[in-house]
Structure 1
Amino acid sequence: MTTTQAAPLHMGKAAVRALGILALATGALESVVTPTLPLLRRELQMSHAEGALLSIVLLVTGALLTPVAGKLGDRYGGKQVLVRLMAVVCAGGLVSALAPNLPVLLLGQILQGAMVGALPLSFILVREHLPEGESKVAIGVVSGLFVGGTVAGTLSAGPVAEGLSRHWMFALPTLAVIGATVLVNRLMPHDPPRRSDGAGIDWPGLGLLSGTLVTLMLVLALAPDLAARPLMLAVLLAVLAAFATGWTAVERRAAAPMVDLRMLGCPEVWKSCVLTFMICVGTSVAVYLVPALFALSADAYGFGASATRIGLFLLPGAVAASLAGPLSGFGVRRFGSRAVVTAGVFIMAVGLLGLAAVHTEAWHLVVGKALIALANGLCVTAMVTSTATSVDRGDTGIATGLVLVTRVIGFAVGVQFSGAILTAGTPAGSDLPAESAFVAGFVLAGAVTVLSLLVVRTLSKGARI
């Protein structure tokens, strides 16, 4: 292997702002499908199975491409790969905006999935051009703006789709992504390739990872119906086990694996992955259940809120999520990562268990959701920051990519788990889930969050700068 290292160029504040704007725009584009899925199902005449496929296809492709993008960024330079990746995302956004039917929209979402790889590439650039103390804060800012973008997309997608059309809810954030990509290309210093080992893409590993993730998402999406069809469940689980086993074997033997599983041998990396998964499961349960509670009829135990009112109710959570990233970056810098994660886990447990206990007033849900959004941002940003700064600079993309893939999988598991809980809690012949189903979902998510403290206790305190 030949490694080249040029003298680093300092990244200016304008370049950091450009990365932040890009994170905000991609976060918004990522999140527009979930709150508008009923509208999309109605306009495109989709079945529930097709709707489930639409809701997870971006996650599948994103989880697949994240480690690929991270490794290519480590090998060839973050800016070069980031700009090309965002060109694919912009093409996907425009395809989604112009889609006349479901197959074309699915193609657009597949292309948009490349956006998930933007974060680890941003972290590569930040670490390449900033001192360690400043890089921690910058990573926190970028991560926080991405989270804020996802919430902003969730809030605005419904009103835009209803006031204009479903086409504009994809077009507007796509235009923002295009503008932000141009800014990054102009303002970001070039980072030369730092790895040149002559190895090509690990296509066998990539194919087996694709099969693993696709099968996993199918199991999660079809879980509520598979209980009545145990044979199909057994077949899917067997296929999932075969893909996962084959992928692990191939990656262990590959000379240049796309996902270096040896990285999981680093305690900071595997602990960050486990914690990120558990935290994102708890967060996604609230993301799914709280809007559902708002939307339920006021004649039952809900609030009968419209899409616009739900967006207003979720606004405090959006603000909290946007602030959590920078706060986490400063907290890690001042107190260490373990202290920040501990505080975040405690806040999230209070929010989830509090929602299980009291949810009869709208402000109960508003406060609980805001606490959970704040806690998620604190924990995930601290985990990513800790991981990014605990490995060699050349491994930043690979390590943070593993954590971000775990984030996607944890979110998907939590959402599908929530849907299964409500399905199981809905009496035959009724469309109204029992209130106990919501309580059970919040309690179980709170329990998972509390259990994560067992892993938090084993974390190192992290460097204070």
Structure 2
Amino acid sequence: MPADQPATAAPHPRFAVGVLAFCGVVVAIMQTIVVPLLPHIPELTGATPAAASWLVTVTLLTGAVFTPVLGRVGDMYGKRRVLVASLGVLVLGSVLCAVSSHIGVLITGRALQGAALAVVPLGISILRDELPPDRVLSAVALMSSTLGIGAAVGLPAAALVIENFDWHTMFWVSGVIGVIDIVLVLRLVPESSLRSRGRFDAVGALGLSAALVSLLLAVTQGADWGWTSARTTGLLVTAVVVGLLWGAYELRVRNPMVDLRVSARPAVLLTNIAALLIGFAFYANSLVTAQMVQEPRATGYGLGASLVVSGLCLLPGGLAMVALSPVSARISAAYGPKVSLLVAAAVMALGYGVRYFTSHSLWLIVAGATVVSSGTAIAYSALPALVMRGVPVSETGAANGLNTLMRSIGQAFCSATVAAVLAGLTFEVGGATAPTLRAYQLVFLIAAGASLLALAVTLCLPGPGGRGKTGTVGTTRENRRAGARTIPIQEGA
């Protein structure tokens, strides 16, 4: 199908939903696939533990940088075209990791895999442009939830491969699946004819990238470097200074990388703050569950579970996310996405309450983790609807890329917080050092607090009161002036 073919000519749009969701799951799996492998990387590659940690850090950095940038490029030059290119980068990264055991090559490959995170906001934008209005909310809900679904599926899948096959196998498999994704997208996903006007803001993209890299490097490496070290404080100062200069530039340029005036609207700004808090709360669940059940029984709370069993603890949560994404869409259609996000934040806080009091039973740990994942599914489904309600259609890709970025920043802060808490509250057991049960419970309390803060922020979101008042996803003055399509939803709360 030619890239400029009208979207209405694409057959079977329902297939596009499935294909894009599959792409999202694959990309999300790539973000977590090396986590079970990290303890073994020094032995397998001869690298230091600090170097091995970059296999996770580098995907966070490249994902944060490329997600909003490629979202903007997609808005301007074609969303499907950029999505296919992102999948091609994922395949290249997978092949690099599959053919080498050199830590430098592995880090390069992982950087390329991280850049493919832009597939999710690009997929959301395509669905908004191409689907009938009554199908947009459910499709976007599923696409957004793939970030959590992939994370829940990736850990047990990687653990199974590591225990039964050569570790390079998982990268060969991911590369093959990436190629299949590209073929399916070219065959079944239409290219949107909607474009934003103007020239690409290269200076804005570089400024945003510099600020993000400085911030995330300081957050992710601060524990190893020392929070008061020259490197950490220097990077934090750089992030602030570059961020301020970037913001001043973006307010003056005609076609900014990020429209800060739109982003400063309460509906958009508060949604992005909520996304950061939800990302923080969600990631704590993924970080501590597998580690907690693998702790030795001698700790008094650990279950001594295997790598595969610990990964499988998150699988029911992934299945719950698949099942609940359409439920979230129905709640948003009936009462508005604001109500969906309120319900999600409350459910996540409840899930961490369950986890606080049930840390000795495998089944209760799984139940608590699944409750948190259920709330995450509803939240991840509601956030894009809230974003699209406040931005022009021509900026959907960039706006959803920014929202996805905020979730990633929340995850980075969560990773640093969890590492600090677990390293700060330890005791000696069996000749080794392990986190205390109180350390894990403190993580649950912090994550519950982040969920409740997200609930408070959501309460401040503007929205018509009362049930049954009709609003639109993305209906703004700019949209109406451009004659853009709007998507009716029901507003509540």
TM over 0.5: yes
The one-letter code matched in structure 2 to 1:369 is: A
Tell me the distance in 2 between the aligned counterparts of 1:132 and 1:386. Answer: 15
Q: Give the aligned partner of residue 102 of structure 1.
A: 103
> Counterpart in 2 of 1:436?
438
Distance 1:389 1:6, change over 3 A: farther
Q: Could you say which residue in structure 1 is the equivalent of 2:490?
A: 464
> Deviation above 6 Å: which 4+ runs of structure 1?
4-7
> CA 1:209–1:42 in structure 2 vs 1: closer, same or farther (change >3 Å)?
farther
Q: Map 1:8-23 to 2 at 5 A.
A: 8-9=8-9, 12-23=13-24
Q: Please give the alpha-carbon distance, in whole angstroms, between the structure 2 residues aligned to 1:389 and 1:132.
A: 13
How far is the alpha carbon of 1:146 from its aligned partner? 4.1
Is contact 1:295-1:302 (8 Å) kept?
A: yes
Task: Provide closer, same or farther for how the CA distance between residues 306 and 93 of structure 1 changes in structure 2, counting only shifts above 3 A.
Answer: same
How far did residue 100 of structure 1 move?
A: 2.2
Cα distance, 1:232–1:20 mapped onto 2, change above 3 Å: closer
Same amino acid, percent of matched pairs:
28
Q: Deviations over 1:347-372 (max 9, x none)?
A: 11011122123311112210110011
How big is the shift at 1:425? 1.2
Contact 1:74 1:394 in 2 (8 A): yes
Q: Which has the higher contact order (CA 8 A, sep 6+)?
A: 1
Matched to 1:35, the amino acid is P
Shift in Å, 1:229: 4.7
1:397 maps to which residue? 397
Instruction: Look up the equivalent residue of 1:258 and give its one-letter code.
Output: M
Output the CA distance in 2 between the equivalents of 1:152 and 1:253: 44
Contact persistence 2:19–2:184 (CA under 8 A): yes
Matched, 1:51 2:52: yes
Q: Is the 8 A contact 2:338 2:386 kept in 1?
A: no
- Unmatched segments (≥5 aa) in structure 1: none
Q: 1:65: how far off?
A: 0.8
Q: Which moved more, 1:210-219 or 1:52-61?
A: 210-219
Please list, as runs of the form range in 1=range in 2, the aligned pairs for 1:4-83 lying within 5 A after superposition.
Answer: 8-9=8-9, 12-83=13-84
Residues 1:320 and 2:320 aligned together: yes
Q: Is the 8 A contact 2:344 2:375 kept in 1?
A: yes
Q: 2:296: which partner in 1?
A: 297
Take 2:260 and 2:47, find their aligned partners in 1: how far apart are those partners? 39
Contact 1:58/1:110 (<8 A) preserved:
yes
Match of 2:310 in 1: 310
Can you list the C-alpha shifts for 1:84-122, whole angstroms capped at 9, x where unaligned? 221112111111222221100111111112211111211
Matching residue's letter, 1:453: L
Does structure 2 conserve the Cα–Cα contact (< 8 Å) formed by 1:202 and 1:258? Answer: yes
Task: Give 1:424's aligned residue.
Answer: 424
Aligned pairs for 1:334-349 within 5 A: 334-349=334-349
Q: TM-score, normalised by structure 1?
A: 0.93
Aligned partner of residue 433 in structure 2, secondary structure? coil
The verdict on how the C-alpha distance between 1:431 and 1:393 changes in structure 2, with shifts beyond 3 A counting, is same
Distance 1:284 1:83, change over 3 A: same
Q: Is the 8 A contact 2:7 2:192 kept in 1?
A: no
Cα shift at 1:55: 1.1
C-alpha deviation, 1:8, in angstroms:
4.4
Q: Which residue identity does 1:296 align to in structure 2?
A: E
Tell me which moved more, 31-40 or 271-280. Answer: 31-40
Indicate the RMSD between aligned Cα atoms, in angstroms.
2.2
Matching residue of 2:478:
none
- Provide the C-alpha distance between the structure 2 equivalents of 1:182 and 1:146, rounded to a whole number of angstroms: 21
Distance, in Å, in 2 between the alignment partners of 1:438 and 1:311 is: 18
Tell me, in whole angstroms, the C-alpha distance in 2 between the residues paired with 1:246 and 1:166.
44
Q: Is this contact kept in 2: 1:99–1:105, CA < 8 A?
A: yes
The aligned runs of 1:403-414 (5 Å cut-off) are 403-414=403-414
2:331 corresponds to 1:331: yes
What one-letter code is carried by the residue in structure 1 that aligns with 2:490? R
CA distance in structure 1 between the aligned counterparts of 2:380 and 2:21, rounded to whole angstroms = 17
Contact in 1 for aligned 2:289/2:313 (Cα 8 Å): no
Opposite residue 74 of structure 1, the aligned amino acid is D
Q: 1:212 aligns to what?
A: 211
Q: Is the 8 A contact 1:144 1:326 kept in 2?
A: no
Q: Is the 8 Å Cα contact of residues 26 and 173 (structure 1) preserved in structure 2?
A: no
The CA distance in 1 between the partners of 2:196 and 2:447, in whole Å, is 42
Do the aligned partners of 2:87 and 2:181 also contact (CA within 8 Å) in 1? no
- Gaps of at least 5 residues in structure 2 are 465-470, 472-488
- In the alignment of these two chains, the number of paired residues is 460
Give the aligned partner of residue 262 of structure 1: 261
Whole-Å Cα distance in 2 between the matches of residues 152 and 35 of structure 1? 12
Q: Secondary structure at the match of 1:431?
A: strand
Counterpart position of 1:124: 125
- Which residue of the partner structure matches residue 150 of structure 1? 151
CA contact under 8 A between 1:26 and 1:115: conserved in structure 2?
yes
